[in-house]
Amino acid sequence: MSVFGALFYVISNNITPIFVCVAIFLLARWLTQPKDPWILPPGPFAWPIIGNLNKIMPKEGDNSGARRVLEIARQYKTDILSFKIGSTQAIVLRKFADVKEAFSKDEFTFVNPTGPVKFIAPGIIGTDGAQWKEQRRFALSTLRDFGLGKNKAQDIIQEELQKVVETFNERGGQPFNSKTLICNMVSNIICSLIFGHRFDYDDKTFQRILFCSDQIMNSSMRYIILGYLLPIWIKNIIPGDLFRIEYAKSLMSEIKRDIILKKYKEHVAHYSDDESRDYMDAFIKEMKTHKSKGKEHWFTEEQLLDNVVDLFFAGTDTSTTIIRWLFLYMANYQEIQEQVRAEIQDVLGDGRLPTMTDKQNMPFTEATILEVMRKQPVAELLYTRHTSDDATEFKGFLLPPRTLVIPNIYAIMNDPDHWTEPEKFNPLRFIGEDGQMIKDDHVLSFSIGKRQCLGEPLARMELFLFFVGIMQKFRIEIPPGREAPLKVELGSGVDTPVISELCFIGIE
């Protein structure tokens, strides 16, 4: 018998005592560790290795765990909860004022260099310090120059809107799942700004980008996060690719190597200093400028590939999910849908395409968008922010270096101290006595503070123009004899709705 065979025989025949010995050793090691100097908020007992991960595993009615975490905070009578995600120390904030204060500070703008965010969004979102500031500043400036500060983005969105209207008309009001179509139109906006052109919806390269993105951001996201939060030695002893990290890495490499890099080489071949057509051209120009300066910078080919991954993933997933929720809510709330359509037709009639100048004349439509965003946040718990490498003081607590700071977006969006009857779907909560929109910063769909989503202006433009354009042309209904529940897909990486077929019936 080989050494490995003998070892397997011994272990398999003594599994219970071995497990008990290992458990006792880990518990003893955990109990005898020296007391930390940190002053932490109150929180639940954290198990060795897993911490409090058992509290946030997907559960029917609470996919993210945000509701259970909120209930724990209430039990401990605290607005700031101590929590352990695997071996990572975290705090959970459930009040808007605390989130706003924390995220306005430089000490809370860091990311874990070995965490899941660095892997999933390696360009801008997954960096910090001087690199993050440089790349974020450039991205904000470039996106503004190539669309957000002009009519270019609006023109691109209107073009996609017309393509979608054509597709809906071809369906003839028959039930279908619009997820792929919505993802196509949102993704093409990003492609137009980054690459300088849109793709046909059946283009093989385009479809491959969307497939890889969906596999990483939805099908594999929860596994990836769990894998990165567990201790390294635990991951190393588990055979195979249980956490789908290697699978996601292969998809990420494919996107960079076979798609983005090819586009980059095409841009280099046709580059001209006299014309910047899109984000890639602007980045290449910065690469040439900084190369001659000799100062530290991150305008490199690898950084460009990482940035494009960031912009594509972040720019597609959030807007796609919100639009899907919008359609689903309209199908379930026919009276609200009719009020929205009446306002749209009063302003636009049946023919003219919507523009952003119409927004101020459609307060109820805008209020409906906001209320759906409040009721169905895309990410109810955010795992992107960490404190710095130094101890951090906050609200009387002393936090360890690189503490994970988690805002409970669900708790904030349903805080009874701020919202009247938060459990109800009521767009009128955003309408003042004068009939105009009431701005409310508590709707945190795009986060807040120094790391607020840089694509928020583009996303809000997409949401308004797509929603208005579709509601102008179609009545959305649940197919007879079927259901389209307002439920989250259990186990999804972000809180996406369960797959439902809807009817988009053309309005004569």
**What does each C-alpha distance from 193 to 139, 169, 253, 267, 308 come to in angstroms?**
11, 27, 22, 13, 11
> What end-to-end distance do the CA atoms of the chain give, in Å?
80
Let me know how long the chain is.
Answer: 508
Q: 187-224 burial, b if ≥16 CB within 10 A, otherwise e?
A: bbbbbbbbbbebbebeeeebeebbebbbebbbebbbbb
CA distance 264 to 309: 13
Q: 11-21 burial, b if ≥16 CB within 10 A, otherwise e?
A: eeeeeeeeeee
Both tokens of 473, joined, read 């042309």
Answer yes or no: are the C-beta atoms of 210 and 479 closer than 8 Å: no
CA distance 508 to 505: 9
Both tokens of 119, joined, read 């892997």
According to the annotation, is 453 in a ligand binding site? Answer: yes
Both tokens of 20, joined, read 């008990």
Q: How would DSSP label each residue in 101-148?
A: HHHTSGGG-B--TTSHHHHHSTTTTT--HHHHHHHHHHHHHHHIIIII
**H/E run at residue 370:** helix 363-375
- Binding residue ranges for heme: 453
- Binding residue ranges: 453
